[in-house]
Structure 1
Amino acid sequence: MVSAGPASAEPPPSAWAPLRVAAYRNLWVAMLVANIGTWMQTVGAQWLLIDERNASTLVALVQTASSLPILLLALPAGALADTLDRRRLLIAVQFFIVGVGTALTLLTLTGRMPPALLLTLTFAFGVGQALTLPAWAAIIPDLVPRNLLQPASGLGSISVNVARSVGPAIAGVLIALTGVPLVFALNTLAFLFFAVTLIRWRAGTSRSVEVPERFTAALRAGGRYVRHSPIVQRLLFRALLFLIPGSALWALLPLIANQRLGLGAGGYGVLLAALGAGAVVGGVVLPWVRSRLPPNVFLLIAGLTYGPAMLVVALVPIEAVVLVALVPAGLAWVTVLANLNAEMQLFLPGWVRARGLAVYQVVFAGGQALGALAWGVVADTAGLIVAHVAAGLLMILGALTVRIWPLPDLRAVEQDPATHWPDLELAHEPDPSVGPVIVILTYTVREERRADFVTAMEEVRAARQRTGASRWGLFREGESGDLFVEVYELPSWDEHLRQHGGRLTKADQAAELRAWRHAEGTPQVSHLLPAEANP
């Protein structure tokens, strides 16, 4: 389904409305402090390396060591966040980060911080962040009502961009006055503050299921859900269409400042501030804009704002003009990505939310990293202007594809859990680990309804595979033209129990009922278990 009409006529919630929810406000402030500490820590680590041999490579490796864990661990972290109590997981991870920060502080203070150890501890710090991000994103829908998810996502972007602007500035002043150890110490205290805030938050439950899944099974289930969810794939695809060309601006802006505008480090900081100011404004106006524009029109306007801004930055070597162009670019950047993140949070059911958001984070980090690398290569081989112009044109082209690959309309999609199958009545209770399990449903469908039935069963197939089925098929009995047989296989009996005890949503239920309306009565159901498990 594609949204073509106007959004709801209800007044949009304020960008600051989520802050009226005490639990969200406290945790958002704590996360803002932690984000500022993270940027302070990054600057401090880079400063320790500027006098080393091969300083350029070592300084660049600080960013690599910080971001690589997100690419490596986001999916396992999402599985952990969906199988464990998210609050307790977050608390444990923050204390791990506090331990890393304490080691950084003490070793730096005593002069025992060689580059290899600094990069190792920076990587460990990144591991903590990789474990934090999916769990934090997954608890936001538990903190605020559904209608406040989009402004909450915008506030998350504001937090990141305020920290990006404030953190390095604070770190620079403190390093000049006292040295790097104090910067590391304050970062440690920032994460200790986040841990204490989490301890004080008393959540009813922050886990999607009472009995946790096995880790490997949870990983496979998360991957299977994404593979068989066209809506999630479309959201990720639209994110990549924006991220890959958009990353050129962030990656090449230092070169624009130095080579095109003749600015030093201070001038580059001013350019970043313009981008950051636009990003903050974008977070503030996101709810207002989204309430007045259909999602696809909104996406088109954002792309047609960001792309021309990139062309101006590349082609006009006047600092004032570039500054003006960077503000709407920052606004478009945050509004698109915060909106897509909010759409993911709205769509993903609770049992797989952290894993789905982890995939989004992998796409976000990977799209930026690969895009930056690609545009850097283009700039080295064809020139800075060519790279920027090509990225700007690609951004415009990507925005125009919204008519071909539109965003789905998620307003009517109900992702609350639904249990509409009758209780299973078996001759014996199988062990949850028994598998594979085959489920067979037999339908009676008259000739005039067959085509509609087969079409409707395609949605059923997707729902079965998203929620646990590893294989699925629909067959027609040769001896009777009216009998259709649905057969699907699940890895274990536990997977089947989870499928019908929390994974199916009201949208999945509606898809089944639409198919059943074309059949006579309700289908006959049987379950096949391995013979050796049932002597």
Structure 2
Amino acid sequence: MRWWSVANLVSNAGTWMQLTVQNLLVLQITGSAAATGLSLSVQAAPGLLVGVAGGAAVDRWPRKRTAAVSQALLGAVAFTTALLIAFDRLGLGVLMALAAVTGLIATVDGPACALLGNDLVRAEDVPSAIGVGSLVGNAGRLAGAGLAGLAVGVFGTAAAYAANGVSFLFVAAVIPFLRPVAADDPRPAPAATPDDTMTVREGLAYFARRPRLVALAGITGISAVLGRNYGLTLAVLVTGPLAGGAGDFGTVSTVLALGGIIGAVIGARLRKPSVRLVGALAAAGALLQAVAGLSPSIAVLLALVLPMAVVESVSDTAGTTVLQTAPPADMRGRVLGVWGSVRTVWGLAGPPALGLLMELAGARGALVAGGLAIAAAIGAGHLLRRRRAPEPVVTPVLAPHPALSTAA
């Protein structure tokens, strides 16, 4: 697990190096902000269209081999992009094609790597493993953003893609040496039944019939659409009503990342998180968001952003734990595939919805209204669930009739 965490730290740093320069690269090639948004949509589209199929593949194929091959393929795409940039052969069409290929491979790579990490620890330690993964992700994001500027400034844009390719190959090289906990279990693994076809339809049906998973999707979805896009809402708030600059927003972003790291550490101590806990934390984070929208100064905003990020990070860690542990082992890849498709919808719908809300209500109004709407929706869902829950049936214990007692 330590080696896997180191590999993921390297991989996350490489990924954020590439993401940091990707938008600038598209702008350099096309000079169009619309093309930049289109490139992101093209990369996300496979997750929407074939995410469930990717999860089914993870359930069907050996997990270590699947993760190693997908990481190697992602590395090949990154190296190809770096070479095309270096030789000035990267046009918009080729860039879009490479983005689509990356998104397609990610539909398999995402659930495969997530579940492989869980396989390396005992069942009771899975929440801690997920928390460590979240911690590594936030640390890699901070490191990658800083290294991107250094690499591009010294070696050029192609260096960020090349570094990301190296990070993928490093992960692929580590995977063969990992030993899942099941490998140490002397008991034989249960044989697959002939009826276990591992189809996409089974994954969709399983997800739809589990109220906990549907509720988790609803909580995370409304939070993603009306909140969480702080790169958009807080940027407008800082540079607009609070009259700050890029440096001030950079400070806010750093505090958000720090809160995410603290939240991941706290979340790693959860043993049996529930959907109810996820909802309560998401509602608390939404209320903090609403209060943050009323901040009179950047100093007050920073004081609110830290606990807001901590609460939401713990909520995310708890939700991920439920998602990856509640389904049976042979369904987890497909469940994560369904989740990936649903999450893609949120990712595509969130920024336009918040942009429209900010056009109508301003940055403060969007943060306040969005936060209150999230908290109200989660509260209404909790009350509705309580009303629908069946009342417990109490069977009275009757005392024996005196005559029967005497006869006995």
On whether the aligned pair clears a TM of 0.5, the verdict is yes
Which residue is equivalent to 1:243?
Answer: 224
Which residue is equivalent to 1:129?
Answer: 106
**Structure 2 unaligned blocks of 5 or more:** 184-188, 387-392, 394-408
The reply on whether 1:341 has 2:302 as its aligned counterpart is: no
The reply on whether 1:358 has 2:351 as its aligned counterpart is: no
How many residues end up aligned between the 2 structures?
A: 381
Give 1:103 shift.
Answer: 0.7
Q: Which has the higher contact order (CA 8 A, sep 6+)?
A: 2
Matching of residues 112-511 of structure 1 within 5 Å: 112-203=89-180, 210=192, 218-288=199-269, 290=270, 296=276, 299-300=279-280, 302-401=281-380, 403-404=382-383
One-letter amino acid of the counterpart of residue 273, structure 1? T
One-letter amino acid of the counterpart of residue 296, structure 1? R
SS in 1 for 2:89: coil
Q: Alpha-carbon deviations, 1:205-247, whole Å to 9, x = none?
A: 7x996589897x6111111212222332233233334333323
Give 1:197 shift.
Answer: 0.7
Q: Alpha-carbon deviations, 1:10-42, whole Å to 9, x = none?
A: xxxxxxxxxxxxxx2212221221111111112
Distance in 1, Cα, partners of 2:273 & 2:4: 30
Give 1:291 shift.
Answer: 6.1
Q: Alpha-carbon deviations, 1:149-194, whole Å to 9, x = none?
A: 1121112222222222221221012111221121111111000001
Which residue is equivalent to 1:528?
Answer: none
One-letter amino acid of the counterpart of residue 320, structure 2? N
The reply on whether 1:50 has 2:27 as its aligned counterpart is: yes
Structure 1 residues 212 and 51, CA, compared in 2 at 3 Å: closer, same or farther? farther
Which residue is equivalent to 2:403?
Answer: none
Q: Is the 8 A contact 2:207 2:213 kept in 1?
A: yes
Distance in 2, Cα, partners of 1:129 & 1:337: 20
One-letter amino acid of the counterpart of residue 56, structure 2? A
Structure 1 residues 233 and 70, CA, compared in 2 at 3 Å: closer, same or farther? same
SS in 2 for 1:191: helix
The reply on whether 1:35 has 2:8 as its aligned counterpart is: no
Distance in 1, Cα, partners of 2:301 & 2:2: 35
SS in 2 for 1:316: coil
Q: Alpha-carbon deviations, 1:312-352, whole Å to 9, x = none?
A: 33222411111121111111221112101101222110111
The reply on whether 1:87 has 2:67 as its aligned counterpart is: no
Q: Is the 8 A contact 1:242 1:395 kept in 2?
A: yes
Which residue is equivalent to 2:76?
Answer: 99
One-letter amino acid of the counterpart of residue 177, structure 2? R
Distance in 2, Cα, partners of 1:160 & 1:208: 34
Distance in 2, Cα, partners of 1:248 & 1:403: 24
Q: Alpha-carbon deviations, 1:427-446, whole Å to 9, x = none?
A: xxxxxxxxxxxxxxxxxxxx
Distance in 1, Cα, partners of 2:71 & 2:193: 24
Give 1:367 shift.
Answer: 2.4
Percent of residue pairs bearing the same amino acid type? 24
Q: Is the 8 A contact 2:227 2:367 kept in 1?
A: no
Which residue is equivalent to 1:16?
Answer: none
Distance in 2, Cα, partners of 1:153 & 1:273: 22
Which has a greater percent of helix? 2
Distance in 1, Cα, partners of 2:277 & 2:327: 23
TM-score, L = length of structure 2: 0.84
Distance in 2, Cα, partners of 1:307 & 1:55: 34
Give 1:387 shift.
Answer: 1.8
Which residue is equivalent to 2:406?
Answer: none
**Structure 1 unaligned blocks of 5 or more:** 1-23, 408-451, 453-535
Structure 1 residues 97 and 142, CA, compared in 2 at 3 Å: closer, same or farther? same
SS in 2 for 1:379: helix
Which has a greater percent of strand? 1
Give 1:84 shift.
Answer: 0.9
Give 1:394 shift.
Answer: 1.1
Structure 1 residues 90 and 57, CA, compared in 2 at 3 Å: closer, same or farther? same
Distance in 2, Cα, partners of 1:60 & 1:379: 19
Distance in 2, Cα, partners of 1:209 & 1:372: 46
Distance in 1, Cα, partners of 2:141 & 2:195: 37
Larger gyration radius, structure 1 or structure 2: 1
Give 1:282 shift.
Answer: 0.3
Identify which range, 221-230 or 49-58, moves more after superposition. 49-58
Give 1:294 shift.
Answer: 7.7
Q: Is the 8 A contact 2:278 2:319 kept in 1?
A: no
One-letter amino acid of the counterpart of residue 149, structure 1? V
RMSD: 2.8
Structure 1 residues 277 and 304, CA, compared in 2 at 3 Å: closer, same or farther? same
SS in 1 for 2:27: coil
Distance in 2, Cα, partners of 1:212 & 1:108: 49
